[in-house]
Chain A
Amino acid sequence: MDERLKRLRAADRLRAPQVINALLPTFVAQHGDRLLGDDAALTAGFGRTAENLGLAVLGIDRGTDLVSRRQKNGGALTVPGYRTALRVLQHAAKFQLPVVSLINMPGADASPISERFNQSQAIADLIAAMGQLTVPNLVVFLGEGHSGGALAFANANRIIMLDDSLFNVASPEAVAAILHGQQTVSEAIDLLPMTAADLHQRGLVDTVIDHRQADLVAVINQRIVTAVSELQALSPVELIAQREAKFQAFLAQWPIN
């Protein structure tokens, strides 16, 4: 496997629950979508930072060993996962809690059960709800995030990425696949803008964090708190408009004709 991908998928990669533990000394977990079930890949809930800032969190991780990776479906969210996230958003809006997503997930779950419960609807509902959220939201890419599932979490006021993480329309493997093996997976990473540096230069990503810092978790959390404080000055209408304007500005880089 490509060295860059190996790092993102390694067992010792920084995981969302570790960041959440440090971010929220007071933390209450929320589980289940009240309909179909729960998703082990999702760490969801709310709590208080050391500075007494109230936050809601959505963390997605792939697991560290065979057993946990299997439980967590390798970080590919299932329909109950998207639906639980949706519930967390409604709860966050009700109690005025800014929403922080921390993700490291492959593309969407390709399985009959996810199709049976219409993951299209689940993803579409989450994208729409993130976009219309009346409280600030931000996403931190701790590893990779591809396709519509990751996009739902990235429909946010601020996008933060670790410098070696990736964000793309599809996984590098899927990009290589549409080229029928003419390019390797490593080459596919360079075919489209998906690295933190490239996306930051293109204005889609707001903050890039060096992943080699000793106090990485503290740095991530400080950036989260800073971003949330900035966003709290905005009204609900401004927050919704800012999200759309952010993606419009990105689209505007592409010539109309």
Chain B
Amino acid sequence: MSHYPKKGVWTTCPACGRHVHTGQWGPWQQCPYCQHWQRLTATQRIQQLVDPDSFQALPTPERPKNQLGFPGYTKRLAQAATTSGLTEAVVTGTATIATWPVMLIVMDSHFMMGTLNTAVTRRMITALDQAQAQRLPVILVTASGGARMQEGLYALVGMNLVLAAVARLATAQLPLITVLTDPTMGGVSASFAFKGDMVLAEAGAKIGFAGPRVIQQTMPVTLPPDFQTAASLYQQGAVDAVVARPALRDKLTTILAAYQCSGVTPRG
């Protein structure tokens, strides 16, 4: 028997580099040494937010495809599916949060950095339209590097199309609550992320359009340590609140209670 620890038991904290035991990350996936919040998978996120056993996934027949034959994309898709266990970078479904019924759209950065492509666009539009049909408020958790370049303009137009669906939701007077988590960048940041009726940022998240690397390629500039952090965005008035992970469910509950959206039979 090998004396090495079982695979997956110890991981390196991406922020402080210390080795952290699975048990030490705790239920909220926070580094015990530097308090860094580990990026959650969509499954973990949903589990933390919804009432037990209330999540019902929407049918998602969409699968990614290397339709344009972009070099290396097919291989990366296969890797993403293997490492994430997902079929695309977003999970959609209905659930209740403290008994409030909601439509959940949760992006997952573990699948090709959560990039927006044709399949993600389609799943989001289906979920937004379903929310309208069932009169549900929408909670959209973003975690994305932007538009998926390998799908070219087909990915980029997703920004227009999701925003068109968001506009229909608004016409139906249903709230969209966006939760910006690490990372929310590029085409996702510049479309639906900031178009929520309420925009929350998870503590510690990096949120922006062009990231530090791209900016520093353009100009020699020293960026402040809090550049594009949730806290600095809040100070600048870009988001309604910064919410620490353990408080997110309660925060959403309060917002849902304030909107009083109770599903197919609206109250009051």
Contacts and interface: CB of A to CB of B under 8 A. Distances in A.
A174 B149 contact: yes
Interface string A102-117: 0000001111101110
Contact of B209 (A120, A151, A254): A120
A244 interface: yes
A247 B149 contact: no
B215 A124 contact: no
Interface string B165-207: 0110000000000000000001101111111000000000001
A201 B155 CA distance: 18
Contacts of B122: 251, 256
A70 to B, nearest CB: 13
A257 B61 contact: yes
B149 A169 contact: yes
Interface residues of A, number: 50
A135 B70 CA distance: 38
Interface stretch (B46-54, B217-225, B241-249): B217-225
A243 B4 CA distance: 59
Contact of A112 (B156, B189, B194, B223): B223
Contacts of A167: 153
A193 interface: yes
A114 B160 contact: no
B156 A114 contact: no
B208 to A, nearest CB: 5
A250 B210 contact: no
B161 interface: yes
Nearest to A132: B167
Contact of B153 (A120, A132, A168, A178): A168
B75 to A, nearest CB: 13
Contact of A194 (B152, B160, B163, B209): B152
A26 interface: no
Contact of B189 (A114, A120, A257): A120
A123 B186 CA distance: 10
B160 A151 contact: yes
Most A Cβ at <10 Å: residue of B186, B219, B227: B186
In this complex, the member of A148, A204, A244 whose beta carbon has the largest number of chain B beta carbons within 10 angstroms is A148
Q: How large, as a class, is the contact surface on chain B?
A: 35 or more
Contact of A151 (B159, B193, B217): B159
B258 interface: no
A121 B215 contact: no
Contact of B194 (A114, A118, A194): A118
A112 B221 contact: yes
Interface string B209-242: 1100011011101010001100001001010000
Contacts of B193: 120, 124
B115 to A, nearest CB: 10
Given A251-B121, A251-B154, A115 B208 contact: yes
Q: Which of B68, B149, B190, B215 has the most CB of A within 10 A?
A: B190
Contacts of B26: none
A175 B122 CA distance: 24
A122 B209 CA distance: 11
Closest 6 CB pairs of A and B: A192-B152, A110-B210, A123-B190, A257-B63, A120-B189, A148-B190
Given A174-B149, A178-B149, 15 more contacts: A108-B190, A118-B194, A124-B191, A125-B195, A127-B163, A131-B167, A132-B167, A169-B149, A175-B149, A199-B153, A204-B153, A244-B164, A247-B164, A256-B61, A257-B65
27 contacts: A110-B214, A110-B215, A112-B215, A116-B236, A118-B238, A120-B193, A120-B207, A124-B163, A124-B189, A125-B195, A128-B163, A147-B156, A151-B159, A168-B153, A175-B149, A179-B71, A182-B71, A193-B153, A199-B153, A244-B161, A247-B160, A247-B164, A251-B161, A253-B154, A254-B151, A256-B122, A257-B63
Interface of B: 61-63, 65, 67-68, 70-72, 118-119, 121-122, 147, 149, 151-161, 163-164, 166-167, 186-187, 189-195, 207-210, 214-215, 217-219, 221, 223, 227-228, 233, 236, 238
Interface of A: 108-112, 114-116, 118-121, 123-125, 127-128, 131-132, 147-148, 151, 155, 167-170, 174-175, 178-179, 182-183, 191-194, 199, 204, 243-244, 247-248, 250-251, 253-257
